[in-house]
Amino acid sequence: MSNKKLLVVGELNIDLILNQIQGFPEIGAEKIAENMDFTLGSSSAILASNIAALGVPTSFCGLLGEDNFGDFILKELRGKNVDTRFISRSEHHKTGITVVMNYDQDRANVTYCGAMSVLSIEHIPWENISTFSHLHFSNYFLQPGMQPYITELFKKAKEAGLSTSLDLQVDPQDKWDFDYKNCLPFVDVFLPNENELLKLTGKKNLKGAIEAIKNHTNILALKLGDKGGRVVSGSEDITIKPYLNNTYKDAIGAGDSFNAGFLKKFLSGASLRECLDYANLTGSVSTTAAGGTGAFSNEKEIKSKIQQIVNKKL
């Protein structure tokens, strides 16, 4: 068990996942889905659940509605040993939900943001901040209440002695209005995927995107999907191929599970190569069960799944 304590700040929502859908949605028509899962959603919560299952003491700061969805999310997080005392409830906003329509290895999402959109820097437990070692923030573009304060959030965390990480996620408006030049110097580990990095920098290829951003980042941990992962930091530039498995269910939460693996090793003081290799492994483990947290029940079972995946690659 790590003695490093993690505070995850971010969005909370339910995922309603539809699989084996007979065709694409059309206005005025009804389509049938053969399978449905109702699970804990949101990038932040999936990371928190999975890194807690990996043995890292984890607390969550977020905002829920006073409703059944909010109750479900709290129960799911507590079931994964995530400390929920810094999660607030709003009487004026409903808990968020994402409807996920899966098509092979791609998907279409529709999200109602609800309470997550009004989470702000005032909700952060600053009076307790020194009890943590690391602060992680996810899904910047879905949280307008936090956007004006994003640089201040990381700056204050660093001043309190914490290490920090950020996963921007997708901008639904496709504007990518994020002041990375001023913010990222206060972020120890920046965790975008390839498409997000291209969009953020406005570059046409990965080489140009990395060149544009590397002078503003401390550690760039890049998710490359079925091409694995890459980490760029100072003179280090490491690419590691993915761990593929035969029991693929869906890719929901695979990126968040990559984050969980990377940060677990980062907090233990591992090398960047070890962090990236383990991140690829935990990303692969995630795809063996439906939803973002289904594959991460407890440390013992996760180790067993990792061993099976490693043995297959040997």
- Give yes or no for residue 35 having a pLDDT over 50: yes
Nearest to 117 by CA among 256, 10, 199, 194: 10
Q: In the beta sheet, which residues pair with residue 229?
A: 223, 240
pLDDT at 144 over 70: yes
Q: What is the pLDDT of residue 242?
A: 87
Cα-Cα-Cα-Cα torsion 170, 74, 65, 67, nearest 10 degrees, comes to 130
Please give the pLDDT value at position 43.
92
d(C-alpha 95, C-alpha 98), whole Å: 10
- Domains, in order of start, for the chain: 6-12+45-95+117-313 (3.40.1190.20)
Q: pLDDT category, 248, cuts 50, 70, 90? A: confident
- Tens digit of each residue's pLDDT (9 = 90 or more) over 91-137: 999 999 999 898 876 788 899 999 999 999 999 999 999 999 999 99
Q: Are 134 and 162 in contact (CB under 8 A)?
A: yes
Q: What integer pLDDT is reported at residue 304 of this predicted model?
A: 81
Per-residue pLDDT at 2 exceeds 70: no
**Comparing C-alpha atoms, which of 61, 70, 60, 63 is closest to residue 40?**
70
pLDDT, residue 98, reads 92
Please give the angle made by the CA atoms of 292, 294 and 299, to the nearest 5 degrees. 110
Burial class of 268 by CB neighbour count within 10 A (0 to 12, 13 to 18, 19+)? middle
The per-residue pLDDT for range 155-208, each reduced to its tens digit, is 999 999 999 999 999 999 999 999 999 999 999 999 999 999 999 999 999 999
> Alpha-carbon distance 9 to 162, whole Å?
14
User: Which of 72, 73, 45, 71 is closest to 58 using CA atoms?
Assistant: 45
